Amino acid sequence: MRIAYTSVFVDDQDKALAFYTEVLGFVKKVEVPLGEHRWLTVVSPEDPDGVELVLEPREHPVAIAYTEGLVADGIPSAAFVVEDAAAEAERLAALGVVFTQPATVMGPVTTAVLDDTCGNLLQIQSLNS
């Protein structure tokens, strides 16, 4: 058994696709029209056949309550591993990304939390040497 997909609920698929590809650096993998929305996934360019992140429309009332509750409590919807969280946070901040938690050393890892502009907080993290 392996993980094939995981989702983040987004308030706008077009805006999410732009943010996740142009800012975060993911690559669009699949885009299939499904009425007014799409089955839309992105992957890491470092692992194009790896886990796909579904940019899921956030329209169901439970999804809205879930994402709003996580953001209100400062909890990230997803976490991504990077080589150097502090350097990546600096790069993203230079692109205008808003952080709710700056790069912070937390024992064996450094983490930072950012706003994806689509209704979610995301965490980036790296192992400390």
Instruction: Quote the pLDDT of residue 76.
Output: 98
Low-confidence ranges of the chain (pLDDT < 70): none
Q: Where are the beta strands (DSSP E) in the chain?
A: 5-10, 27-34, 37-43, 52-57, 78-81, 99-106, 109-115, 121-127
Architecture in CATH of 5-127: Roll (3.10)
Instruction: Quote the pLDDT of residue 129.
Output: 80
- Round to whole Å and give the CA distance between 43 and 31: 12
Q: Are 41 and 5 in contact (CB under 8 A)?
A: yes
Tens digit of each residue's pLDDT (9 = 90 or more) over 90-101: 999 999 999 999
